Amino acid sequence: MRESRKFLVMLAGFMACFYLPVEMFPFRNPVFEALALVRWYAREHVILCLVPAFFIAGAISVFISQASVIRYFGAKANKFLAYGVASVSGMILAVCSCTVLPLFSGIYKRGAGLGPATTFLYSGPAINVLAVIMTARILGWELGVGRALGAVVFSVVIGFLMHLIFIKEEKVRLAEGDLVGGEEKEERSLLKNGVYFASMIGFLIFANWARPEMPTGLWAAVYSLKWYISAGFLVLVGVMLLRWFNKEEINCWISASWTFAKQIMPLLFLGVIAAGLLLGRPGEEGFIPSRIIESAVGGNSMAANFFASIVGAFMYFATLTEVPILQGLIGSGMGKGPALALLLAGPALSLPNMLVIRGVIGTRKTIVYVGLVVVMATLSGMLFGYIVG
């Protein structure tokens, strides 16, 4: 199938999801919830989240030299620098578990070690400054602090364990050059590349700036100006492309971005449909009734924390939606330990997220990564529940 036909098929699928007339369906069941969730995902997370992320990932694969990625994130890079930068990336990128995937794929295929790459993969959606603030404000400062500390420590520990478990395979991967292309010679200065990437990231951040709970304050002021700021970054990117990049480079960038879109988009939508079938939308029912979840996460037992971690790992949470969901669960009797376990496993993982990760790093590594997140979330929840009583 020619690339243009593939693009038209994907575009037609997206438009079908975007305009899906779910209100006209005469039934309310898991199938309805799956269709409603996929329409919501298409409307809220594709145009302003995924599409910019694809272009950023494509730019990483084309405009950042493989040598630079290996220098800062490769197997021989300074471990403190590599894991330190990767672990706090979420403070800059307020992305969900799906939007981070093209960025993860981009740096991994350019030569980043598995450890720093998975640290980035976890921290991107987990360490969201606004989400941490909302958690502390709505659910209590204990959960806010526990989430912030747990996410930073989690990302480093999980990344380092992934590095140790698969160190032999990673050495083979890097030795055999299982990486994506792009010119090794950097045509622009480090400053120019930095401004270019900062502008694209700036658009991604401000275009998705969430509506604040309070109508006053700095966050609210930025929200009122978000589209002007986003447009400014977009114009800046356009000017830089015209002045600093030649036609061949731009074509390579678009081609690389399209490659990421082809790899990731179909799996994401299949995963969103599956998540909707099993767990429904927030506040609605899937095949697994919410009463079962609510009854299973009371107290601070290992079973309750493990169940919360599993549910969090498979359910899709858009950025910030986990806080009101947890507020309702806590009101129904959920313990603080399982609440933290869900906060540490949920935002960083989802069924769509797992399907795409498998396509990037393989089945074994994905299973180990998911297992590490679930186990650590379970143990952390139990410890937190014991401390806060």
Do 77 and 71 contact (CB within 8 A), yes or no?
yes
Do 233 and 202 contact (CB within 8 A), yes or no?
yes
Tokens of 168: 């032999």
Where residue 43 falls among pLDDT bands split at 50, 70, 90? Answer: confident
Of 186, 177, 225, whose CA–CA distance to 202 is shortest? 225
User: Which residues lie closer than 8 Å to 387 by C-beta, 6 or more apart?
Assistant: none
Domain boundaries, the chain: 41-388
Residue 199: φ, ψ to 5°: -70, -40
What is the separation, in whole angstroms, between the first and last Cα of the chain?
59
Residue 140: φ, ψ to 5°: 110, 150
Task: Work out the angle at residue 334's Cα, subtended by the Cα atoms of residues 330 and 339, and round it to the nearest 5 degrees.
Answer: 80
Residue 353: φ, ψ to 5°: -60, -45
Q: Check residue 211 and report its DSSP letter.
A: P
Distance CA 329, CA 166 (A): 37
> Alpha carbon 210 to chain centroid distance?
16
Beta-ladder partners of 298: 334
Instruction: Give the CB-side neighbour count of residue 340, counting CA atoms within 13 A.
Output: 33
Give one word for 333, left, alpha or beta, with left for phi > 0 and alpha for psi -120 to 50. left
Whats the size of the chain, residue-wise?
Answer: 389
Give the tens place of pLDDT for each residue, 170-221.
777 767 655 554 444 556 677 787 888 888 888 877 887 777 766 777 778 8
| Confidence (pLDDT) at 182 | 46
| Confidence (pLDDT) at 354 | 87
Tokens of 372: 């590490």
Where residue 10 falls among pLDDT bands split at 50, 70, 90? Answer: confident
Give the tens place of pLDDT for each residue, 361-372.
889 999 999 999
| Confidence (pLDDT) at 50 | 75
**Mean pLDDT score of the chain, rounded to an integer?**
78
Q: Is the pLDDT of residue 282 over 70?
A: no
- Which residue has tokens 């966050």? 219
pTM across the whole model: 0.66
Give the tens place of pLDDT for each residue, 45-61.
778 777 887 788 778 77
